A and B are shown apart, each in its own frame.
Chain A
Amino acid sequence: MKSRILGIKFFVIITISVLSIRLFSIQIMDTDYQEIANRNVIQKGIEYPYRGLVFDRNGKLLLYNDPVFDLMITPKNVDLSDSLLIKKLLFITQREFDQAYLKARSFSRHLPSIFYKQLSNEKFAAFQDRMRDLEGFNINSRTTRGYAEIGLANILGYVGEVTQNQLNRDTTGYYKSGDNIGITGIEKTYEKSIRGLRGVKYRNVDVQGINMGSFENGAYDTLPQPGQNLVLTIDGALQKYAERLMEGKIGSLVAIDPSSGEILALVSAPSYDPSLLSGRGFSQNFVTIQRDSLKPLFNRPLQAMYPPGSMFKTIQALIALEQDQVQADEIITVNGKLIGDHAPPGKYDMERAITKSSNNYFFKVFRRVIQQGEHLSPFIDSRMGYNKWRDYVLQFGFGKILDIDLPNEKAGFVPSLEFYDKIYGKERWKFSNIYSLSIGQGELLVTPLQMANLGVILANRGYYFTPHLVRKVGAESLDFSQKSFIEIDTGHFESILEGMQALVSVPGSRAYIPDLVFCGKTSTVENPQGLDHSGFMGFAPRNNPKIAIAVYVENAGWGARAALSTASLAIEKYLNGSVKKKWLENYVLKGDFQDAKPE
């Protein structure tokens, strides 16, 4: 019996040892369980950062984050027999209530989900008072983009949820489904600076996924870092005024500070209210805006391409002068028969040709530039002349993008040799085929931005800066001080500027601004589809220029009417802070340029 008693005691001890060894193996040897346990209860949550704020050059807030309030529902806690109050507060029917409730319930009975997106301020206030009576409902706040002004949509752009396509292309691996991303405008170009840095919050969840508080008191959490603020080069007041002037018209206005390349105003008309693409109504509003036949989403200053028209004569003049094909004081007599012309026949020097915009003068000048007589064959001669001419034109920033800090900039078009070869055959074309270029028509295409940049070049007598919209990112000022020079002697500019001044700075004329000497050139751009486009390019003041400007108003006829009037008002507004010529302002705002009396 003794051995049996011992055996039984031994059995007890052995059993406990076996259990203890087994515990040792799962608790200490096997670390998997620790990991699985963490996966069980620790849930990683993303804390979304605030996007950076955007200010204008004078520190005026343009773009901020707007808190919005969503009504959340936790179906498990809702007393369905008592839905009267919620329906009353939201102004919804029983059917709508049921739909929203069932949708939330099918997501989860235990976890909160959105019951009603973006409560209006009035509804939010009403809810705040009654929250205690609403078991199972709570309010969740988040932010959407808020806009201080209705305008600037084409500059600021909008944000939206990142798409699967963007996720696939994102090589940095930063974006996760559900993130917001800048879709266009500076929201897109400066996305990396403006988006901030996501924070991570670890929290405990129970078996049903219900939040049980922060993990380890937040020891592993990282706070979201708000995005960097941007300071734009835009002058808010000028932009707003220019947008008002362009209201009801189709076209663009671009104003640049010639001393820096900073864009002061960038108007695309027609535009849209940017707040429509922020928050609750995004998808619905987007479709409406996208279907608008006037294409409000089309950023005209960068994307619309027109022939430059007479404004291009300034470049023709400079290239001819630089190539010594004409002298500024050389008198050229024209009979007005080479090409259709609004300028009278007679004697022209460079200044008068610019002021009067003589087509025949520039026809002759351009012929000299193209056919310089360096080859016996007029075809080869034209080819050589054209190639040189084209090199100059490209230097002015045409036919290529200027690399503005906005997406989707268009390059315009300056025909290449190959282009003409294709149309006419190699060495089968000469000046007579391309003479339209002399007056800025033909195959040439430019953007309003490029024309404003031409204003900058003329203002600076030979160089420009990369046009840009953002001055400062966070505390760091961006460097755009690199000058792009055009290989044209500074001396050649004066006669042209003289002519431009004589066009616009004449007392009694529509564009005249007292005590201001400025320069400009108009275009009446031929439009085979309808009424001609009205164009203007210039800068002010002539000495020590502060603003270069280009305006295109589609189907508005004479350049000297719609575009020049608009530009003159914008210049006066920017330089003087206010506009004295109310009659001109009313004329532009009315927008009925056909009935205006001719000059």
Chain B
Amino acid sequence: MRSQNRYQIDTLSVVYFLSLVMLGWINIYAADYDLDGNTPFFDLNQSSTRQLIWIGASFLLIAVIFILDYRFYDSFGYVIWGVSVFFLLAVLFFGKEVAGSTSWFEIGFIKIQPSEFAKIATAIGLAKYLSSQNVGVSYKYKLGISAFLFSIPMGLIIMQGDLGTAMVFGSLILVLFREGLSAKLLFFSFYAVLLFLLTLLIDQWILLFMVLALFLIGLGLFIKNRKALIFIFWLSILSCGLIKSVDFVLNQVLKEHQQLRVMSLINPNADPLGIGWNVMQSKIAIGSGGFMGKGFLKGTQTKFDFVPAQTTDFIFCTVGEEQGWLGATLIMILFGAFFLRLLTIAERQKSRFVRIYGYSVVSIMFFHFAINIAMTIGLFPVIGIPLPFFSYGGSSLLTFTMLLFILLKLDSQRMEQLEH
């Protein structure tokens, strides 16, 4: 039995992976399709053709991952993390500024984005730290420390001006929750995000009034519970602080293009040709798809370039317009099944390192998935993060492939892993 399971790669995950990549490629082809009908089959000007090359490259990468010893990631966990942080620092000084972000190295015609690599490195670094022996440190304390492992790259990426990618690292809080982070903290995180969004949507004075009202109601309900009263008191103070600071952040900290993106979430109609254009057109494209969609290659909004970045961040518009609600939902279910499968894989590990890494992979991918779709349908500000395996682009495809296949490689040899 034991020898049988050696080098057993998880077939189901590979099937999901291949399905997603294939469906993604089909949609890139559709988004890029020229209605004149003279789209050449192999033309490097076409995103779909170039994506084929990237898919080929990702297969090569998979081979490399399977050749590398599985112990590499565990052993060099901190080194990998350290190197990535070094690059994040270096790009701040030597990087090339594109559209307000300094997140690229340009060496000849090759462009490298250290923040993509940082996603993998941070997942590995976090897994390494949390799975290491506790030496004189309480576990709770350790969880707190681990937050630095992703807060540092996150901060550096914010400094690059790439708020969207930085937010991805916030998703790793889910991993900490799995590893025992108090539910209250998770609750506070969500509460903070919710309040943040409400502040954008509702006038801050109304919100402050609502907080005050809730405080008074809580006061009345828990008049005899002193502990609860203290909790409610501090929560109200924090809420007011958050509301005021969001206003501050929005107007003082965020750069203009980021402000516009946030504002466009609030009211995309106010500025249909400005930044809100993206969200408007994206919603129109998806909304016009109806139940069954317009059919493969028949989407008009995407074909005629009404939707910007239609092969990359807004690839889901093509899905929504051409495949309709049915197709979009089926694809989301496929993603869902894929994520649940990865969670199952993570849970079946004996090695804590692999389990934590597995959760990190799911958190990162799920965040991309949920936020990307949410922004195309106007539920979240346009923060410019790709849809895993669907969006055109070498960096993102290779990153997600690497994230996934390092997990699958580790999983394939889980019987050899030592339990820490």
Which A residues contact B (CB, under 8 angstroms)? 1, 4-5, 8-9, 12-13, 15-16, 19-20, 22-24, 26-28, 30, 32-34, 36-38, 40-41, 204-208, 212-213
In the assembled complex, the CB of A539 is this many whole angstroms from the nearest CB of chain B, namely 69
Task: Pick from A22, A24, A30, A208: contact of B379, CB below 8 A.
Answer: A22
* Pairwise interchain contact A30-B178, C-beta atoms closer than 8 A: no
Complex CA gap A41/B374 in Å reads 25
Q: 8 Å CB contacts to A: which residues of B242-300?
A: 281, 283-291, 300
When distances are taken between beta carbons in the complex, the residues of chain B under 8 Å from A34 are 287-288, 290
9 A-B pairs in the complex with CB atoms less than 8 angstroms apart: A8-B178, A15-B370, A16-B336, A23-B320, A33-B288, A37-B301, A40-B281, A206-B305, A213-B35
The contact of B325 among A16, A27, A205, by CB within 8 Å, is A27
- Binding-face segment, B45-53, B222-230, B327-335: B327-335
B177 within 8 A of A: yes
- In the complex, the answer to whether A27 meets B306 with C-beta atoms within 8 Å is no
Asked if B324 is at the interface of the complex by the 8 Å CB criterion, the answer is: yes
Chain B residue numbers with a CB within 8 Å of A23 are 286, 320, 325, 328-329, 377
Question: Knowing that A20-B325, A26-B287, A37-B300 are A-B contacts, what are 6 other residue pairs whose CB atoms are under 8 Å apart, sorted by A's residue number?
Answer: A9-B340, A23-B377, A26-B286, A37-B301, A40-B304, A41-B301
B positions within 8 Å CB-CB of A: 35-36, 174, 177-178, 180, 281, 283-291, 300-301, 303-306, 320, 324-325, 328-329, 332-333, 335-336, 339-340, 343, 347, 366, 370, 373-374, 377, 379
Do residues A28 and B377 form an inter-chain contact, with CB atoms below 8 A? no
Tell me the interface secondary structure of chain A in the complex.
helix
B300 touches A16 (CB 8 A): no
Q: Known: A19-B370, A20-B332, A27-B324. Contact between A204 and B283, CB under 8 A?
A: no
Q: Are B377 and A22 in contact (CB under 8 A)?
A: yes
Measured CA separation A36–B325 after assembly (Å): 18
Q: How far is the CB of B358 from chain A (nearest CB, A)?
A: 12
A5→B377 contact, CB < 8 A: no
| A20-B291 in contact (CB<8A) | no
Quick one: closest B residue to A206, CB to CB? B304
Closest to A13 in B: B336
Whole-angstrom distance between the alpha carbons of A141 and B347 in the complex? 72
Chain A: CB-nearest residue to B373: A19
A27's contact among B281, B320, B343, B379, by CB below 8 Å, is which?
B320
Report chain B residues within 8 Å CB of A20. 325, 328-329, 332
Contact yes or no, A27 B291, CB < 8 A:
yes
Are B374 and A5 interface neighbours, CB within 8 A? no
Contact of B291 among A13, A26, A28, A204 (CB under 8 A): A28
B300 and A40: CB pair below 8 A? yes
Residues in chain A near residue B379, CB distance under 8 A: 19, 22
Asked whether B306 lies within 8 Å of A207 as measured between CB atoms, the reply is: yes
Question: How long is the Cα–Cα vector from A205 to B35 in the complex, in angstroms?
Answer: 11
Residues of A close to B332: CB separation below 8 A = 16, 19-20
A9 to B377, CA, bound (A): 23
Whether A26 pairs with B283 at a CB distance below 8 angstroms is yes
Q: How far is the CA of A28 from the CA of B288 in the complex (A)?
A: 9
A34-B287, A207-B305 as given contacts; A41 in contact with B343, CB under 8 Å: no
User: CB distance B288 to A37 under 8 Å?
Assistant: yes
- Shortest beta-carbon distance from A114 to chain B in Å: 25
| Beta-carbon contact of A12 and B340 below 8 Å | yes
Q: Is the CB of B336 within 8 A of A37?
A: no
Q: Give min CB distance, A317 to chain B, whole Å.
A: 81
Closest 6 CB pairs of A and B: A33-B287, A37-B288, A206-B304, A26-B287, A27-B325, A41-B300
Shortest Cβ distance from residue B286 to the other chain A in the assembled complex, whole angstroms: 6
Residues of A close to B281: CB separation below 8 A? 40
**Residues of the B chain whose Cβ atoms lie less than 8 Å from the Cβ of A30:** 287
B370 and A37: CB pair below 8 A? Answer: no
A24 to B324, CA, bound (A): 9
Is B287 a contact of A32 with CB atoms below 8 Å? yes
CB pair A41 B286 closer than 8 Å: no
Query: B336 — nearest CB in chain A belongs to which residue?
Result: A16
Q: How far is the CA of A1 from the CA of B284 in the complex (A)?
A: 43
* Alpha-carbon distance A580/B290, docked complex (angstroms): 83
B37 CB to closest chain A CB (Å) equals: 9
| C-alpha gap A24/B303 in the complex (Å) | 23
Complex: how many Å from CA A73 to CA B167?
Answer: 49
Complex interface: chain A residues within 8 A of B180 (CB): 1
Q: A19-B370, A205-B304 are in contact. Are A40 and B284 (CB under 8 A)?
A: yes
Complex alpha-carbon distance, A36 and B301, angstroms: 10
Taken together as a complex, chains A and B put the C-alpha atoms of A385 and B73 apart, in Å, by 128
- Note all chain A residues with C-beta closer than 8 A to B374: 19, 22
Nearest to B308 among chain A residues (CB) is A207
Q: Check A33 against B335 for contact (C-beta < 8 Å).
A: no
- Residue of B whose beta carbon sits closest to that of A20: B329
Contacts of B340 in A (CB 8 A): 9, 12
Chain A residue with Cβ nearest B374: A19
In the complex, the answer to whether B306 meets A41 with C-beta atoms within 8 Å is: yes
How far apart sit A16 and B301, CA to CA, in the bound complex (Å)?
A: 25
Task: From known contacts A5-B343, A23-B377, A34-B290, infer whether A212 and B320 are also in contact, taking CB-CB under 8 Å.
Answer: no
- If the complex has contacts A8-B177, A12-B366, A27-B325, are A207 and B304 also in contact, measured as CB distance less than 8 A? yes
